[in-house]
Structure 1
Amino acid sequence: MKRRIIDTIEQYDTVIIHRHIRPDPDAYGSQFGLKTLIKDNYPNKKVYAVGTHDELLSYLAHPDEVSDEEYKGALVIVTDTANTERIDDDRYSNGNFLVKIDHHPNDDAYGDLVWVDTESSSCSELIYELYEEGREYKGWKMSEECAKFLFAGIVGDTGRFLYPSTTTKTFEVAGQLVNYQFNRNEIFNGMYEMDPNLLKLQGYVYQNFTMDENGAAYIKLPKELLEEYKVTTSETSSLVGSLSNIKGVRAWAFFVEEPHEIRVRLRSKGPIVNELAKKYHGGGHPLASGATAYSWEEVDQVIADLKQLCKEYQ
């Protein structure tokens, strides 16, 4: 499969790379890592990375502006995105050929060529595997910039190598990437430094979260609260792990109100939460998923299901 993807890349003069909405470091890491990898080895190709920019990821990169005309006859690659509903920029279907590279469960096998490996820690790790194949097959090289993107994506999706998705292969890949002379401190500072307002909201989370006797925990963050603390909905993503170190917590949810919906972030130490996420317009990994609720009444249904999930967990 990897060689088929490499052969496909070689056939096209224009490559446009998409990723999922509400991007995280692995979305940017895999997308911009692949863009840079292609440019490293095919400097005459036009390669773009598209999507709505998240200012929290400015320490990594900024997406490209691409006209509709560029899609004509182009190769489109989507990284780190399980289903078509979550692809950022619906022009992904306007190219000549579509490739999917992902590590989420393959519930939506879109694309003309699909490479999905759910055993991989991150999509950025898969892009490194593609580089390894290209090195053997075509003599590919990797720049420091590419290594930086892939390292950031792996660190982000493994929670600094703490999550169960981290494998021996993950450590081997990270070990190879740190041989490149990029600034790791810059990545860590960009990823984990918190604004004082966000730290104050974290204090609120610790003081006000709810946990039942079966280890189901949750916190509701309505828009009025976010306005009070001067924190954006995207900034709250860095708080999701706050409940992970609390003794007795098995699975937890953050409910963050946006203008027209309520974002649901689900995490777990054991109970499988991605099936629950699918029930509420979402999906993801077994222990880390996202969903959407459209009212606080629906949020209460999610909470009830989360409690039942933890109760049944053995």
Structure 2
Amino acid sequence: MKERIIEAVESYDKIILHRHVRPDPDALGSQAGLALMLKNHYPQKQVYMVGEEEKSLRFISKMDEISDETFQDALIIICDTANVERISDERYTNGDKIIKIDHHPNEDPYGDIIWVDSRASSVCEMIYELYETWKDLKGMQLTDEAARCLYAGIVGDTGRFRYPNTTEKTFRYVSELIKYQFSPIELYEKMDVKSLQDARLEGYILTNFQILEYGVGVINLPNKLLEHYGVTANDASKLVNTFANVEGLKAWVFFVEEPDNLIRVRLRSKGPIINKVAQKFNGGGHPLAAGASVDNWEQTKGVVAELIEACRCY
């Protein structure tokens, strides 16, 4: 599959890279890391990155602004996006061929070339693996900036190498990435920074979250509350691990209301399988980290009930 991806890249003069909406470090790191590799190795090709900007993660990479016409006859590479509903920038459908590179369960096998490895800690880990094959076949070189982006994504999706998706392969790749000229300390500092508003909302969460039966944690963050603290729904969602270390907690859910009243469901677990819960509510994800959405606060009760049942059966 990796060789098919390389062959496809070499056959196109124009390549546009996408990732999921509301990006995290792995989405941006894999998108930018691969783009930088391609720009360096194929300077004659047009390589672009698209998607909405995430202010707090601009230190990883910024996006390009391109016209609709640019998508014509382009190769589209979509990183870290499990299903088509989550692809940022719907113009991807105007491209000529689509490559999916992802590490979520392949519930939505879109694309002409699909490389999915749910065992990988991150898509950034997969991009480094792709680089190793590319290096052997075509002499691909990894730049310092590309290495920085891939490192950031791996750090983000492994929770500083603390999550169970961290493997021997993860550490081996990181040991190679760390040899390049960038500052991991600076990356950590930028990933850890939070606004005063975020810090105060974090205090509210710690004061008001509930632990229900079977170790289920719950916090509701309605839109009016977010407005009071001056934070966005996206900002609030990033605080999903605020009470993760509380004793007795098995799984937890953040309900975050968007301005349009859709309620985003952020699920996390220390063992019980939760992506099956997410799938029942228009979502999906990893076994221990998943997301979904519901239309109103009444429906959140159903999510909590399913989460309690998952923890009871664990």
Q: TM-score, normalised by structure 2?
A: 0.98
Report whether the alignment pairs 1:171 with 2:171.
Answer: yes
Alignment of 1:32-181 (within 5 A): 32-181=32-181
Matching residue of 2:277: 276
2:305 matched to which residue of 1?
304
The aligned residue for residue 198 of structure 1 is 198
Tell me the amino acid that sits aligned with residue 188 of structure 1: Y
Amino acid in the other structure paired with 2:296: S
- Please name the residue that 1:183 is paired with: 183
Number of matched pairs = 313
CA shift for structure 1 position 185: 2.4
What is the Cα deviation at residue 281 of structure 1? 1.1
CA displacement, residues 96-150 of structure 1 (integer Å, 9 cap, x when unaligned): 1111000000011111111000000000110001100000010110100100110
Where structure 1 has 5 or more consecutive residues not aligned to the other structure, the ranges are: none
Q: By how many angstroms is 1:293 displaced?
A: 1.1
For 2:135 and 2:167, the matched residues in 1 are separated by 22
Identity %: 52
**Segments of 4+ in structure 1 off by > 3 A?**
none
SS of 1:242's equivalent in the other structure is coil
Partner of 1:23: helix, strand, or coil? Answer: coil
2:161 partner amino acid: F
1:35-75: CA deviation from partner (whole Å, max 9, x where unpaired): 00111110111000101111111111111111111111110
Deviation at 1:237, TM superposition (A): 2.9
Question: How far apart, in 2, do the equivalents of 1:246 and 1:117 lie?
Answer: 31
The root-mean-square deviation of aligned C-alpha atoms, in Å, is: 0.9
TM-score (norm 1): 0.98
Give the Å deviation of 1:215: 0.3
* AA partner of residue 73 (structure 2): G
Could you give the per-residue CA deviations for residues 242-301 of structure 1, whole angstroms, max 9, x where no partner exists? 121011000000011111201110000001111111111111111001111110001111
Give yes or no for contact 2:237–2:254 (8 Å, CA) kept in 1: no
For 2:241, the equivalent position in structure 1 comes to 241
Please give the residue correspondences for 1:247-286 in structure 2 after superposition, counting only pairs within 5 Å.
Answer: 247-260=247-260, 261-286=262-287
* Aligned residue in 2 for 1:295: 296
1:29 aligns with 2:34: no
Q: Pick which of 207-216 and 133-142 moved more.
A: 207-216
Structure 2 unaligned spans of 5+: none
Amino acid at match of 2:27: A
Amino acid at match of 1:135: K
Structure 2 letter corresponding to 1:73: D
